[in-house]
């Protein structure tokens, strides 16, 4: 992996979604890399949110605001004059998207347009990495792994909203940040597609690891909704390392790397949900699970795999942890938190440092 500290040291990084699960991990990593970070996001919802546990307010200039407030977003971007923008802010939950579909589209699609509108007003070079999801593809439920050139789609509002975000990104790239006019606009634009990340500090509703941890803490069986669903499970630091590497490559060669990129595990680490649950319980050392018969449930994809060959061959990125290692690292975080909550920031930092120096 290229020398990330030299890329981000003393650089201004505008990070949307910095109070979220992935955003907080990326904020801590950027701080370790010596970046000057300005975050823009909604306030964290709970005291146990990772952002609060790592004392995120000490790691960045934090702006608590809504992505849908276009004027405020533009004001904060232009005031900061960033060298890099990482756009992670989103409504990230499939099942919640059925409850708030219009809001999901507003945040994920129009919010992305607002970010790019602010970039359009920025009169300086800037490298922009926009995070969507592995669910942007029109899912045919086949064994074939999806490549960056495959058709976009989305059954549920979340997936469709992120596919819309990719169309927004493509439109802005062609219309305002066209490679042919790079000498004029000097903006490197890329999108990153990853999903099904696991890691410490995730407390979201209807996500498998938080559901497991909540059940184990309460001494209750883990409820497994879709035991046979296949997902590209990966530790949260895997795609974040990909985003940072992509940002570094894009800053150095914006015309070469300005496109869409998949970040996921190797094919052998695509696991069914039930296998992940069994591994997690074994690592925890206790617990049981149940597979209730559920009716009238919102649709969720049964099979989803990503082709990561482009990132492996062109970015020289590769997954560092197996699925079992990712699950182990995740459960160790929660066990460490329960054992000594006040030391969890140091534990989080150590997990990042260990990952960053890991030899594949």
Task: Give the residue-averaged pLDDT of 262-289.
Answer: 88
CA 138 – CA 64 distance, rounded (Å): 34
- pLDDT band, residue 320 (cuts 50/70/90): very high
Residue 302's pLDDT is what? Answer: 52
What tens digit of pLDDT does each residue of 224-241 get? 888 888 777 899 999 999
What tens digit of pLDDT does each residue of 258-270 get? 999 999 988 888 7
What tens digit of pLDDT does each residue of 13-57 get? 999 999 999 999 999 999 999 999 999 999 998 899 999 999 999
Residue 242's pLDDT is what? Answer: 97
Q: What is the pTM of this model?
A: 0.93
Q: Has residue 249 been placed in a domain? A: yes
Q: Has residue 61 been placed in a domain? A: yes
- pLDDT band, residue 360 (cuts 50/70/90): very low
CA 112 – CA 281 distance, rounded (Å): 38
Count other Cβ atoms within 10 Å, centred on residue 233: 28
What tens digit of pLDDT does each residue of 285-306 get? 888 999 877 555 565 555 678 8
**Mean pLDDT, rounded, of the chain:** 92
* Burial track 111-133 (b if 16+ CB lie within 10 A, e otherwise): bbbbbbbbbeebeeebbbbbbbb
CATH of the domain at 178: 3.40.50.720
Say how many domains are in the chain. 1
Residue 294's pLDDT is what? Answer: 59
What tens digit of pLDDT does each residue of 167-208 get? 999 999 999 999 999 999 999 999 999 978 999 999 988 788
Q: Has residue 283 been placed in a domain? A: no
Which residue shows structure tokens 């994809």? 301
List strand residue ranges (DSSP E) for the chain, in order. Answer: 12-16, 36-41, 61-64, 84-87, 126-131, 187-193, 197-198, 222-223, 230-231, 234-235, 260-262, 271-272, 289-290
Domain that holds residue 165: 10-194+234-264+307-323+344-356
Q: Has residue 80 been placed in a domain? A: yes
Q: Which two tokens stand for residue 106?
A: 């507003």
What tens digit of pLDDT does each residue of 98-128 get? 999 999 999 999 999 999 999 999 999 999 9
CA count, 13 A, side-chain hemisphere, 302: 5
């Amino acid at each position: 992996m290229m020398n990330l500290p030299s890329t981000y040291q003393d650089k201004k990084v505008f990070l949307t979604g910095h109070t979220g699960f992935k955003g907080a991990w990326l904020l801590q990593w950027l701080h370790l890399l010596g970046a000057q970070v300005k975050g823009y996001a909604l306030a964290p919802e709970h005291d146990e949110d990772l952002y609060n546990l790592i004392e995120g307010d000490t790691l960045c200039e934090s702006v608590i605001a809504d992505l849908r407030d276009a004027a405020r977003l533009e004001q904060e971007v232009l005031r900061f004059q960033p060298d890099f923008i990482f756009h992670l802010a989103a409504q990230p939950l499939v099942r919640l998207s059925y409850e708030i579909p219009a809001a999901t589209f507003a945040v994920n699609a129009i919010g992305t347009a607002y970010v790019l509108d602010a970039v359009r007003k920025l009169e300086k070079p800037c490298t922009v990495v926009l995070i969507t999801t592995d669910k942007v593809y029109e899912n045919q439920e086949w064994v074939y792994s999806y490549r960056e050139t495959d058709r976009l789609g989305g059954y549920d509002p979340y997936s469709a909203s992120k596919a819309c975000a990719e169309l927004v990104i493509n439109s802005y790239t062609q219309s305002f940040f066209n490679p042919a006019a790079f000498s004029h606009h000097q903006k490197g634009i890329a999108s990153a597609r990853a999903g099904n990340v696991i890691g410490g500090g995730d407390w979201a509703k209807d996500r498998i690891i938080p559901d497991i941890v909540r059940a184990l803490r309460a001494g209750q069986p883990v409820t497994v909704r879709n035991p046979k669903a296949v997902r590209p499970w990966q530790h949260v630091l895997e795609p974040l390392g990909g985003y940072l590497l992509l940002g570094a490559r894009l800053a150095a060669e914006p015309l070469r790397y300005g496109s869409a990129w998949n970040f996921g595990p190797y094919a052998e680490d695509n696991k069914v949900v039930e296998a992940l649950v069994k591994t997690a319980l074994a690592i925890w050392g206790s617990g049981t699970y149940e597979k209730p018969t559920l009716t009238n449930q919102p649709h969720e994809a049964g099979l989803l795999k990503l082709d990561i060959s482009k990132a492996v061959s062109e970015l020289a990125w590769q997954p560092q942890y197996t699925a079992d290692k990712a699950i182990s690292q995740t459960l160790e975080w929660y066990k460490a938190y329960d054992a000594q909550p006040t030391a969890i920031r140091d534990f989080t930092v150590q997990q990042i440092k260990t990952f960053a120096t890991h030899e594949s």
